[in-house]
Structures are given as C-alpha cells and as structure tokens.
Structure 1
Amino acid sequence: MEATRLFDCIPAQAAAPRADFLAAKENGVWRSYSTQEVHTMINQLTMALLDMGISSGDGTDEGRDKIGLISNGRPEWVMVDLAVQQTGAVLVPLYPNTNPKEIEQILIESAVKYMFVSDKELCDKINLVRHNVPTLKKVYAFDQIENYPNWKELLKPLPTGYLQKIAGITSNISENDLTTIIYTSGTTGKPKGVMLSHKNIVSNVLASGLVLSQIPVSEKRAFSFLPMNHIFEKMCTYIYLFYGFSISYAENMDTIGPNIRDVKPSIFTAVPRLLEKIFERIMAEGQKLTGAKKKIFLWSVKVAEEFELEHTSPWYKIKLAVAEKLVFSKWRAAIGGNLKAIVIGSSACPVKLEKIFTAAGMAVMEGYGLTETSPVISVNQYDPKGRKFGTVGKLIDKVQVKIAEDGEILCKGPNVMMGYYKNPEMTAEVMQDGWFHTGDIGILDDQGFLKITDRKKEIFKTSGGKYVAPLPIENKMKENHFIEQMMVVGAGKKFTAALIVPSYTNLLPWCRANEIPTISHEEILKDKRVIALYQAAIDTFNPEFNHVEQVKKITLLPNEWSIESGELTPTGKMKRKVITEKYNAEIEKMYAGEPNESPSLVS
C-alpha cells in the first residue's frame, strides 16, 4: 500500500466506500456515516480551520499551530484528527479523565489555540482552566451544550476551488512532519509530550496491518471503546481506516456489552483488565447454573485452560469440539457472534485468559510497545505459527530490538518518536546511540518471540541485597480467580509481601455458598475461612518462585483500585508510588514483625 501520511487513508477509503463507515449512538439510536459524508465533513472542517488561521506556521515543531481534543471515542474524533492533519497543524489529544491541573499544564505547554470537546462534563472541566491558557481562543463542543458553540457551525459548503486549495496544502506536508503530541499518562511524575510524525505512525499502521490482514473475516467490522488519544487505539483506528473496516463506537464503558451485541464486530482492541472483567461475567453467569449444565460449563472452562496452539492430542480435540458446541459458541453469541480476534495491549495479559478466549474461538493477539514507539514493537499474529502464549509476539517489519546487558529492551526503527516536546534533556536520556531505551526488561527467544519480564524501574532490592521482579509474581498469582488486583512490595525490606484486592465477583458467591455473611467487604475479610482461601492461593503459587520472591505476608483490601480513585493510570496500569503511599500503614504493618515460616495474612 502506498501511504506516507496518515491522511493518505482518505483516497484509500474513497476507492472502496461504505454506507456504514463510522457509527455511534446518537440520542439512543445508532447513526451511521457513509464514507462520502465523512470525507465531506473532514474537508469542511479543514476549510474552517484554515479560514481561522490554523496552519503549519513556520514549519518547526513549536511553530506549528496546536489543536486540543478531549472526547470519548466517536466519529467526530476521527474527523477532527484528519482535518487538523490536512492543515499541517498538530493535534494534542487528552484523556477524558485527565484532571484539570494536568489539562492546564498540557494546554499551556503546547500553546493550544482551539479546543474540541465532546460533552458538558468535559466542557465544564475545560472551563475551569481556560482562562489560565493565554493561547486558547475558543472551545467547540460535539454535543449541543448551552453557551458553547457547536462544532457543526464550522461545517459549511465548500466554495469552488477549495478542494484544490486543500490538496495544495497537503502536498507540502512531509512524512517527517510532526502530526500529534500525545501526553503519556505516566505511572510517576508529570506527563511527557511524545512527538510523533506521520512516518512514525504510518510505518506502524502498515506493518501491523499486515498482521491483522491474516484474520479471515467476511465483514470487516471493528468496535472501539478505548480512549482514542491512546496511541494504541489511535494506531489501530488507522489500520481500520486504511484497510477498509467500518468502525462503531461504544456509548461509554458501561454499555460495552449491549453495544457489542448490536455491532457484531469481527475485531476489537482491549486492555487485559477488560478481558478479566468479561471472563468474570462469564464465570458469574456460569455459577448461576445448576446440575448437569453447571458441570458442563465448569468442565468446558477447564478444557479451555488446557489449550495449546500446537501439538494437541486427538482426544483433546474431541473435548474441545464438545466444549465448542455446548458452551463456547454461546459465549461468542453473547458478544455478537462474529468475533475472530481481540488485540491486547497496554499491560501484560494473563496466559490463562489468552488460552481460554483462544480456545473459545476468539484469538487473543497480545502485542507490546510504548507511546514513544507509535506504539507497536512486536505482536502475536492470528496465524498460530506466529503466536506464542506468554509472549508479546514477533517483531513487526522494519523494527529492530536488542537486549542490553542489564536486560533492558532497546528499540530502533521508523516507529520511534521524534522526541519529547520541549524536553531535549529527557529525550537524550532515552535515546542513546540511535536506540530507544524502553525501560522494560525482556528476552528474545530462539524463535524470535519477545517476552517482557518486568519494568526496569519496578524491580526492587530487599534489605538482604536480593533483587525481586514483581510483575511475573503478580501475573502468575492473578491467575487465581479469587485475586482481582495485586501489587508486590518489599523494597528495602526483609521479605516480599503483597497488597491484594479480592475478586468480589467470585468471592461473594463463594461466601454465600459457605454461609459467610456478606454485609460488607470489610467484614468478609475478617472471616477465617476467607483468610484460609487466600492462604491456600499463596501456598499454591509460592513454590514456583525462588525463596526471596515468595510472598510471605499479604494484606487484603476492601476496595478495588481504579482510575477514578487515583491508583490506576488512564490505561489501567498500577501507579505503584500512589498505591504505596496510600496504603503505607497497611504495608508497614506487614513488616512490624518477622514473617512466619509459611505466608500469613494481615487483615
């Protein structure tokens, strides 16, 4: 495919137009936008922005005009993005759940001139800071909101010759030009503005698109619900835009279930946390069954957990076929019936979930990358020969990786960012001798599969001088369906311990079955039988780790960590520093005395 800039997807779409190109619910009813309609609106908005004086300025990264965008995923997001690109300006997208202080910092640093905002809640958030941003001229809303101009006011018929004018401007936009600044959510410190060029993202789109093109679908239909400003979702969106998919957007995170049944997608992107939630719901429904139906359900889950990509015995294939007919086909029907693949990113996916969903006919294609790498470095392919459980797949085309002496993954390729906006010192820290230092620890096996073992900054040393990598411990122990979230601690301490948030979706039914009162989470965690349940889980997994890695004590917590309560980043990663500070008293209590010979629980 010939493409060097992101807006080159427009002629590719025109060659194969669709009536359902982009779709979303408006006032409770699905609204589809045709390819021609979308292109017209993009060009109309491009004209309006040009008439407002938006341009590439002097052509430097700082000289280019900046347009802000804060919105949930919806067709308007794509239209604004492409219109801004066609002017030569730079899009600065923000997470909808970004706090006002960070919004203010980002808008001031990037000198945003105009903002596009989706709804009243976000308009109110912008209103708190707009008077502190001297460059901000006006805020346009996608929804009809009192006292805010609607973005459709900018969409006017194109005068004669204006398409030629737009073509003249786009012809001077280079693949090496800055197209977006994406501020990372960051697990520590303030967000950094990652500068990405057309070439950075397009190279990733084309290489990753080759992987997705393996998926046998009769109808190219994608479903989107992740934040659009996250480079993972944005890059995948452009795969859909270049490769002829339609895209339907979820109303919000609470309506994913019914929306996905409406859309019947063949593919969607997700983070592991969402996959965990889907499986929890499946298990919760299965636990409601009785008699033979429940036994068949639980047997099928066990069959799925044993799934391997290769070398399956004839007897296992028979069991899998039975489970498919009786159980797995119903799972797929509950999410539309057409799903072929789920592309997973952002954080490590438990192998157990990869096996279960793949066995049920929904291939989990886990990949790896960072905002700074546009984002994909490696990805598991749809073809079983190009997939390996427990890894993040093989390197995509034109991307190089080498493992440093300390185990850090270094990356080089056309996908690597231009640098951090207005921060050459930090850019120099991560870019050395042409290699981007990812901060992740990993290995490349003899088959070319990349495996992430931990974050370099998250590895800690005990007081005895031994190193502990928390991520493998957490990922392994979270395979127990009673463990929802877990953070291993122990930096500078005598032994390894952990904070655990139980999976109340699974724990509450277990409590009721064992006649344990479920008045409150706090009361549940005091029950000796619950403590014994988690004691058994720890005892089961600890032998798989060396002595210093074994969890000696844990604290059970009553409340789930979330983005809203501040423990998780917008992409669902743990903010270890925040969690450590918030639960410092609970952590110190675990270290108040010596650990027992076997792990114990603090409640």
Structure 2
Amino acid sequence: MQSVTDWHLVRLFRERVSQYRDRIAIKYQQGRSWKTINWQQFGHRVDALACALLREGIGVQEKVAIFARNMPDWTIADLAILSCRAVTVPLYPTSTTGQAQYILNDAEARILFVGEQEQFDKAESLLSGTSVLEKIVVLDPGVDIRNCPQAVYLKDFIGCATTTAFRDLLTARFESSDMDDLVTLIYTSGTTGEPKGVMLDYRNFGTALRLHDQRLLLTEADVSLCFLPLSHVFERAWTFYVMYRGATNAYIRDPAAVREALASVRPTVMCAVPRFYEKIHSAIMARVEQATPFRKRLFRWALATGERYFQRQQSGRWMTPGLRLTHAIADKLVFQKLRVLVGGRVRFFPCAGARLADDINLFFQVIGLNIKYGYGLTETTATVSCYGDAIALGSIGKPLPEVDIRIGADNEIQVRGGTVMRGYYRKPEATREAFIDGWFRTGDAGYIDDQGNLVMTERIKELMKTSGGKYVAPQVVEGTIVRDHFVEQVAIIADARKFVSALIVPAYEALEEYARSMGVKFESRMDLIRDQSIQALFQQRLESLQKELPRFEKVKKFTLLPREFSLDLGEMTPTLKLRRKVIMERFGKEIEAMYT
C-alpha cells in the first residue's frame, strides 16, 4: 500500500522521468510542425530551471508567478518552482494590468515568468507599481524586452546554474518536502469584490490524483490536448494527472487554433468546457439545415438509432442483433465522420466549468464521443463529481470516492474531503465565511438523486427575483439561448424587473454570412443588427429555443449588441464569466429602453 508521501507531485514527476526516459512526454507546435520533448529532457529542463531559482535565493514556500499562455515552459517553470519547495502563482494570460498588479502584490512575488509580448508589456509597466517584483523571466525568445534591466530570457536566466552546490541544495529541498506545503495560490476570478487566493497543498493534489484513479482509466498510451488555460485549476490539475499517468501532453498556445490541433494531434483525451461542445453542435446542426433532403433524413435516422442503442447500453438491457447492425451502419455512415471533427480517436473527454445541456450531452454520447461531465471548483482542487461508466443525463455524476457531499440550507451543495482547500490566502474572514461546521460552502444549489448522482440547479448568489416574486436562474436561460449558432454571448436581466430581457452578442461571422445569402445590405455591425429581418430572425429563434422554459423565465425583449463583452473593460472575469454588475452599469441605457 502506498504511503501519503508517495503522492507528492515532485516525487511522482521524478519517478516518471526515471521510468520513461526516452518516451515522449510533451508535444508542442513550432511553426507548422510538431516538436517533442522526452521524459529525460523534461526532467533535465525542470532541474536546470529549479537550480537557477535557487541561485536567485528563492526560499521555501516563497511565491513565484507565471503569466503566460499554454506552452511546455509553463509546466517546466511550474515544476521547477515546486521542486524548490516554492509556491506557484498562476495569472491568466488575458489578465489586465490591474488584475496582475493586485495578484503580484498580494502574493508578494518577486520573480515573474511571462510568456509573450502582451504579458511582458503589462509586466514591465508593473515594475514601478509593485513593491516586490524584481525580475521578469521571459519564456518566448521572440519577445522584445527593450533592454529592460529587470528582464531576462529563460535561456540566459538558467545559464550555468546546475553546479554541484545548487544540485545538492535542490536534493535537500526535495528530501525536506512536506505534504502540508502549499503547491499553489490560484486567485479566483472575482465576479464580485477582489480576487481571493485559494491555497491548495500537496495533500489536496495527491488526494485528487488518487481518487481519479478510481473513476477514470488513463494510460501511458494516451495523448491529451492541453488547450484550456493552465492558469485554471481544471487544466492544471488534469496536466498533473496526465504527467502522473505517464501520458503525453500536447500544448497549444492559442485556444482559437484548437480545431486544427485536433486534426493533427488526434488526442485520445482532452479537457473542455461546455461552450466548446455547444459550438460544435451548433455548427453541425447548421450544416444539416443546409443539407439535401436525403442527407437530412439519413442524419435523423442515425441519431434515432444511436439514441436507442445508447439507452439500451446504459440500462444494461440485451442488445438485439437488428439494433447492433443498424447502429453499425449509422456509425459507419454518420457518426465516424462527426468524430473526425475532434480527431477521430477519442476515448473520453472530461468536461466541466458550466452547465452542459442534456440534449447536447446526449447528442455527443450518441455519436460515440464519451464526455465525462463533471463538477468542481478551484477550492476543491477541481473535481467534486463526474461521470464514471454510467451516464446519468440531467446530473453531474457521482461524487468521487472519499469526497463527502451534503445539501445545506437553501439547497446549497456543501463539500468535505481531502481535496478541499486550506483557505483563502491572507483572508481569514473570507475563509471563515466559506465553511460551516467543517464543510465547504460551494454557493451552488442542487440535490442528490435516488441513484446517488449530484444534480446542480442554480448558482445561489446569482439567482434573480422578478418584481412579481419569481426566481430566475440566469445560467439556465443563458445556456438555452447561447446554444444557437447565431449567438456568441448573452446576459440576462431580470432582478426587480417585470419580465426577463436579454443583451445578446450575435456570432457575427455566421450572421454576416446568413445576411449576405438573404440579400440583406449592411455596411457595419450596427446596420446589420438594426435590420428588421435580422431582428425578426432573432425573435423567431428565441421563441423556438425557449419552448421548454417556464413562461416567467422566457426572454420577452432583447437588444443586439455591436461588440462582445470585454475582459479589458472589466465586463468579464479571466475565466470568461460575466461580471453582471459592470454589464448592468455599462449597458444601462439599452436595458432601460427594453422596459420603457
């Protein structure tokens, strides 16, 4: 039986380096080709950078920050920091200068790793605005550091740091490591108020790895595509799991390039958020709408066949020879071609971060894309619950083993277990408020069904109450509307209002293509969204989308916006959640016009 310390992240990493040596650990794109790093090279780079950090005098549990898009050097820097018994503080690559300044000051990070020019420019402007930042280490050699005396390229920073003295110190740090050491401070997005640094330690991550082994089967033969930001707990914890299992991680910097990467990497596993599947589903359905009558009938027949097959499979009922045959035909003619859109060799795709509509979930399960839908938070080291072999539509799966869930006041989901955070960094009051009787309060409402599956109903803090006293869960309504391929973003307004209204950002590429096909003349986005036929199109689609919603939840009026909600303007968090208060203030005139 393994001891607790066997689950220490740095120990696990060193074991894999020794075990796999020449096997591929990392893939990454350079120009149009894909390069590889084997486990031995991976280990050497981590050790070299760790020695360089020790040369800089990095202390035990000192905070070191990373401000970059996904790249191998992100993880190399992360593991080098941890190898020194220091603490990694990730910043979202899209963070504003103000957000970065707050985190660096709060964490007191004197060394900052940056990725590309955008991050360097913001970091450079902070050198005089932070009391602690001393050095910027630039990961991308193509960045212009403009002779900044506090900036240094990664290669030069490492230099000749791997002397015997620093290697001995590195070994001593590792041998003195403790499961109670902090691994990371992950600052929550802060939809209201200032961000809070979530303290996660080695015990949290070790427990998460061990429990995932009891729910998932990941092997050294798997290839994972790393495209969600590593600054988020979901992709970061998953990357640690991929590393621990000896699988290959393929990094892409630009999330917008995921489509091309799927075709070239052909991953067997990949983390994604529901919006990823909503967009694929929307694109597929739009293409079906344009198909010939025969292809439409074939598509619908295949889906109906696949649904019958899936339901029998999940209920454990006997599969008739006829259904096996027709399903094989449907798979050959339709489903295989759809799976090619995500590389064609998927084993399973973990999915979390927001609500995934049941019909979209079912669609992908039917075509043979095994989505492991789940639920978790930064404060719980990601996963609280997720699907296993059984798929219970309408739920977010069963809790992981050893993760306890109870339903508290206001139907709040409360969690207890080894994956729950230590607390918020330097915020004792916020930490006290986050717990009740030793249980972490998620702020999400839900229940546990008769089969032991967790079902989330709404976000408690975001519930809106109409002037008629009806409660509206904005995520449910927004999730319903954003599935349309003409909709990119939506914000619901209902609090203290007579009815529900919406600010809608169209998916302009799809909308402009439609407008041209229909002969709609426009010279700007404003021309387009003011056109009566476009307004009628959205009205018609809203009515169709909202058929299943209760009358009081349906959007009665809407306003189309000429631009997206902006991260830079503070309308969204770095995790792309809506900052509703800012949006209500920024678009106050448009909102009032819908109610007068």
TM-score, reference length from structure 1: 0.88
User: Is residue 41–residue 155 contact of structure 1 (8 Å, CA) maintained in 2?
Assistant: no
Give the direction of change, closer, same or farther, for the CA distance of 1:378–1:534 in structure 2 (3 Å limit). Answer: same
Aligned AA (2:370) = A
Match of 2:592 among 565, 578, 588: 588
**Identical amino acids, percent of aligned pairs:** 33
Q: 2:466 touches 2:495 (CA, 8 Å); kept in 1?
A: yes
1:66 aligned onto 2:55: no
Alignment of 1:539-578 (within 5 A): 539-540=543-544, 542=546, 544-561=548-565, 563=567, 566-578=570-582
| Aligned equivalent of 2:245 | 243
User: Which of 183, 189, 193 is 2:193 aligned to?
Assistant: 189
How far apart, CA to CA, are the structure 1 residues paired with 2:400 and 2:589?
45
1:376 corresponding residue in structure 2: 383
Cα separation, partners in 2 of 1:520 and 1:285, compared to 1, 3 Å? farther
Q: 1:331 aligns with which of 328, 331, 338?
A: 338
**8 A contact 2:51–2:161 mirrored in 1:** no
Over 3 Å counting, the alpha-carbon distance change for 1:259 and 1:167 in structure 2 is same
Q: 1:460 to 1:294 in 2, by over 3 A?
A: closer
State the partner residue of 2:101.
104
* Deviation at residue 582 of structure 1 after TM alignment: 2.4
> In the TM superposition, what is the alpha-carbon distance from 1:424 to its structure 2 partner?
0.6
Task: Kindly indicate whether the alpha-carbon contact (under 8 Å) linking 2:279 and 2:485 is maintained by their aligned counterparts in 1.
Answer: no
Q: Does 1:201 align with 2:231?
A: no
CA deviations on 1:473-506 (whole Å, 9 max, x unpaired) are 3323444444443332211112222233344455
Residue of structure 2 equivalent to 1:262: 264
Kindly provide the amino acid, as one letter, of the partner of residue 276 in structure 1: E
Q: Secondary structure at the match of 1:267?
A: coil
Q: Out of 500-509 and 76-85, give the one that drifted further.
A: 500-509
2:45 corresponds to 1:38: no
Displacement after TM superposition at 1:402 (Å): 0.7
Structure 1 residues 379 and 244: alpha-carbon distance in aligned structure 2, compared to 1, 3 A threshold: same
Aligned equivalents of 1:580, 1:304: Cα separation in 2: 44
Aligned length: 580
What does 1:75-86 align with in structure 2 at a 5 Å threshold? 75-86=72-83
Partner SS for 2:410: coil
CA–CA separation in structure 1 for the residues paired with 2:290 and 2:220: 35
Given residue 240 of structure 2, which amino acid in structure 1 is its aligned partner?
Y
Q: TM-score, normalised by structure 2?
A: 0.89
Contact 1:461 1:492 in 2 (8 A): yes
Structure 1 match to 2:54: 50
Change (3 A) 1:542 1:225: closer
Superposed displacement of residue 256, structure 1: 1.6
Can you give the 5+ residue segments of structure 1 that lack an aligned partner in the other structure? 57-63, 593-603
More deviation in 495-504 or 410-419?
495-504
- Helix, strand or coil at the partner of 2:152: coil
After the TM superposition, which residues 417-428 of structure 1 pair with which residues of structure 2 at under 5 Å, given as runs?
417-428=421-432
Q: What's the counterpart of residue 111 of structure 2?
A: 114
Q: Which residue of 2 aligns with 1:59?
A: none
Q: Of 357, 361, 368, which residue of structure 1 is paired with 2:364?
A: 357
Q: 1:329 to 1:565 in 2, by over 3 A?
A: farther
Distance of 2:339 and 2:549 partners within structure 1: 36
SS of structure 1 residue aligned to 2:409: coil
Deviation at 1:547, TM superposition (A): 4.1
**Correspondence list, 1:394-405, <5 A:** 394-405=398-409
Secondary structure of the residue aligned to 2:184 is: strand
Deviations 1:134-175 (A, max 9, x none): 322211111224434221231537444765543322122211
Any stretches of 5+ residues in structure 2 without a counterpart? none
What residue identity is the alignment partner of 1:225? F
For the Cα contact (< 8 Å) 2:282–2:483, is it kept in 1?
no
Q: 2: CA distance between counterparts of 1:450 and 1:293? A: 38
Q: Are 1:10 and 2:32 matched, yes or no?
A: no
1:96-175 superposed matches below 5 A: 96-144=93-141, 145=143, 146=145, 147=147, 148-153=151-156, 154=158, 156=160, 158-160=162-164, 163-175=167-179
2:500 and 2:555 in contact (8 A); partners too: yes
Contact 2:26–2:38 under 8 Å retained in 1 = yes
Report the RMSD for the aligned CA atoms in angstroms. 2.8
The answer as to 2:539 corresponding to 1:535 is yes
Measured after TM superposition, the shift of residue 133 of structure 1 is 1.9
CA contact (8 A) 1:209 1:239 kept: no
Match of 1:430 in 2: 434
